[in-house]
Amino acid sequence: ELKVEQNPLFLSMQEGKNYTIYCNYSTTSDRLYWYRQDPGKSLESLFVLLSNGAVKQEGRLMASLDTKARLSTLHITAAVHDLSATYFCAGGGTGTYKYIFGTGTRLKVLA
C-alpha cells in the first residue's frame, strides 16, 4: 500500500532564501504530483512528474522525481511572500486510480 510522507510539515523562511520540501513514498508509484493550496481555498495543480529524472520548473518553483530513491523534491528559489501556502505531494499507485496525498507542508515566507 502506497504511503506518502512530506517534510517538513511547517516551514518559515525569509524572503530571498532557498529551501526544499521533500516527499518520500513507500512503494512504486508511476507518477507524482505537486499541488498548492491557499488558506480556505481549493487545490491547484503545480506539477505532474511521470518518469525517473523528471524535472519541471515554473517561476521560483522546481520539482524533481527520483523513482529509485522514491523521492520527489520541490525546490523554492529566492522565496517571495506570494509563495506562502500549503504544498501537497501525491502519488498514484501503479495501475490504480487511487491517489495518496502527503500531509502537506505549510510554508510561510516572511518579509
| Binding to other proteins, residues 14-33 (CB under 8 A) | 30-31, 33
99 contacts other proteins (rule: CB under 8 A): yes
Determine the Cα–Cα distance for residues 81 and 26; give it in Å rounded to an integer.
Answer: 33
- Residue 31 or 60: the one with the smaller Cβ distance to other proteins is 31
Q: Which amino acid is at 18?
A: N
Burial class (CB in 10 A: 0-12, 13-18, 19+), 75: middle
Q: Which of 44, 57, 69, 81 binds other proteins (CB under 8 A)?
A: 44
Stretch that binds other proteins, among 13-21, 35-43, 62-70, 77-85 (CB under 8 A): 35-43
Q: Which residue has the cell 515566507?
A: 109
- Closest contact distance (angstroms) between CB of 14 and other proteins is 25
50 contacts other proteins (rule: CB under 8 A): yes
Q: Which of 61, 74, 100, 109 binds other proteins (CB under 8 A)?
A: 100
Strand partners, 5: 24
52 contacts other proteins (rule: CB under 8 A): no
By the criterion CB under 8 A, which residues form the site for other proteins?
9, 30-31, 33, 41-45, 48, 50, 88, 90, 92, 97-104
